Structure 1
Amino acid sequence: MLRTFLASKGEWSLPSSPFFHARLPLPPGITQSYQVAKVSTVKGIRHQIGPSRALQRFQQDAFFTLLDIRKADQDWALINTIRDTRCRVSLYVEIKFFFPSQGKRNMSGGIDTVLDVVFTWLELNNSLVKSVTSAKFVDAEDPRCEIAVCCLVGK
């Protein structure tokens, strides 16, 4: 499906198929993603915010899922070209969250978490992402997150 995006300097059009797509477990909510820990320093004890066990578990599960799809039909030639040549390619990401219920859960923390995991896995800098679209759905039987990454082509 071809989409058009308006950017500050003109229009961007999206190729019809993504070069990378994956299905991941749902990331934890933002309030479950971080915890405060006491850290001993020379000057005494201070509090530091760090990843929670739930976030670490999601990251680990997502990496194992990505290991399985590495053999799947992805455009690794394009991914490797972007990575190896350090091309300044503008990317578009579409993320779909399938929650078990409508609930009050938002997507904002999940977007960053999913982008970090996927772009770390791809060994690409997520600063290449120029546009992100996210959507929230309900699927009580199969909660998940789906991500697709495409190149944006300028006019």
Structure 2
Amino acid sequence: MGRAPLKQPTNDRGLTAVELIIVIALVSLLAGVAVASAGRMSAAARARAGAEHLASLLSQAITLASSENTQARVVLTRGAWPPRVELMRSGTWVDVTAELARVRTAATPPGQVWVASTTYPSDTFTAGRDTQSALVVASEGTATLEAGYGMTARVQTTRLGRVCLEVCP
């Protein structure tokens, strides 16, 4: 004759209070880690957007200096944003930032971004024709932007106007 299958003991009581507390603690820990990661990712995106915006302004300043056969500069203010682009017209520095806003290729970064430091003299990048050649030359230097959570981005320029950027954790 057949044997009756063995029954496994079951716990009909559900979760104990200790098990429930452990589950809640684990879920809370994972949620906290996710929120912290989201903040860092957002800051990294802001730092990159700020660096792209600044690189675009520096490149456009070089282009303006060349096309208008004059000097251009980008004025950076530590702890502040945005930079200001100025062009030498009739012996006076004229703010052309609003003019560039219509044709700028990189959007202004959302959220808070600021200039942490620069190696440019007087925190000002300049570009203009070299007095001894037909070349447009620019300030060599680096500007470091910060966006919180320790996220920074560096924009570097060379004498011949090359602009490159780097995002750093």
Q: Using structure 1 for the length normalisation, give the TM-score.
A: 0.30
Larger radius of gyration: 2
Q: Choose between structure 1 and 2 for higher RCO, CA contacts under 8 A separated by at least 6 residues.
A: 1
**Normalized per residue, which structure has more strand?**
1
